[in-house]
Amino acid sequence: MISTAQIHGEESTGVDNKKPKCHGNKKLQRFKRKWRTRERKKEQRFTLSRLELFDKQFCLHQIHHLYQKYVDFGLQYQIWPDDIVQIIESNESDKIQKSLEEYLILLKNRINQHENELMIQLSSCPTTLHSLETIDQRLKEFVRLHHIDLVRTVNYQKHKLKDIIYEKRLFNQLSSYHLAEVQHQAIDQITTIRKKQLKIFEDLTIFEQRILCHSLPKKFDDIPILTYQNLFGNEANKI
């Protein structure tokens, strides 16, 4: 038989063999949490500063591209848009060309400056931030989508520039002919009608964009039915 002393001895041995649970060093855990938080903040600051540089660089690229088109078409046809002439306050082709080229150099220098800042910034990249190339690609795509209106505006200005040059070349060709007074009057009437058409088209484009952006003025909510009747006739009753 097993004696009582043996039983108590075995129980005491079992208790002695049990080790207290280790919950880890609380100070070390707090340090790790603070370290991870600090690293995340470093990553955020680095990413945001890089995003800001990409944003500035993108806008400058778009402006530089537009003014380069002004110079290219101006040198090719010796025709400059009226708004450029007003800005430079001169009709002399050489002076306009020089001013635009100086502005292009200024834009290019600023673009290069931001490029150098991006390169210097690489030295401060957090070690916990992996795949910087992928991050840069996503940041650039974000900037492009954010400035989609700027891209559209630049493209619109380029197409408008082509139309202006074509119009002025056509006008110069017509002016070289010896036209009668009646013919000059007819050309003036056609030109006036065309300008009105372009103005209506621009207003319509702005109106469509406001509808798409949900930014119509509040006064459009209270347009009387008479206005629709004047615009659409009997079809207004169906609106």
Query: Token pair 């139309």 is at which residue?
Result: 163
Q: For residue 57, which of 103, 110, 123 has the smallest C-alpha distance?
A: 110
Measured between alpha carbons, how far is 94 from 104 in angstroms, rounded to an integer?
A: 15
Whether the Cβ atoms of residue 93 and residue 74 lie closer than 8 Å to each other: yes
Alpha helices in 24-92 (DSSP H): 26-77, 82-88
The count of C-alpha atoms lying within 13 angstroms of the C-alpha of 15, restricted to the half-sphere facing its C-beta, is 6
At residue 129, the pLDDT reads 81
Question: Which pLDDT tens digit goes with each residue over 12-67?
Answer: 555 455 555 545 566 666 656 665 666 788 888 999 999 999 999 999 999 999 99
**Domain extent listing, the chain:** 34-126+134-177, 178-239
> Environment class of residue 118 by beta-carbon count within 10 Å: exposed (0-12), middle (13-18) or buried (19+)?
middle
**The pLDDT of residue 232 is above 70:** no
Question: Among 41, 21, 37, 40, which Cα is nearest to 29's?
Answer: 37
Residue 205 confidence (pLDDT) above 60: yes
pLDDT at 233: 52
208-223 exposure pattern, b = at least 16 Cβ within 10 A, e = fewer: eeeeeeeeeeeeeeee
What is the token pair recorded at 65? Answer: 């591209």
Where does the pLDDT of residue 210 fall: very low under 50, low under 70, confident under 90, or very high at 90 and above? Answer: confident
| pLDDT exceeds cutoff 60 at 137 | yes
Task: Please give the radius of gyration of the chain, using alpha carbons only, rounded to the nearest integer.
Answer: 36
For tokens 């629709």, the residue is 228
> What would the mean pLDDT of 129-138 be, rounded to a whole number?
89
Between residues 236 and 97, the one the model is more confident about: 97
Q: Express each pLDDT in 149-188 by its tens digit.
A: 899 999 999 998 998 899 888 888 877 777 788 888 888 8
Average pLDDT in the chain: 80
**pLDDT (mean) for 111-121:** 95
Share of the chain above pLDDT 70, in %: 73
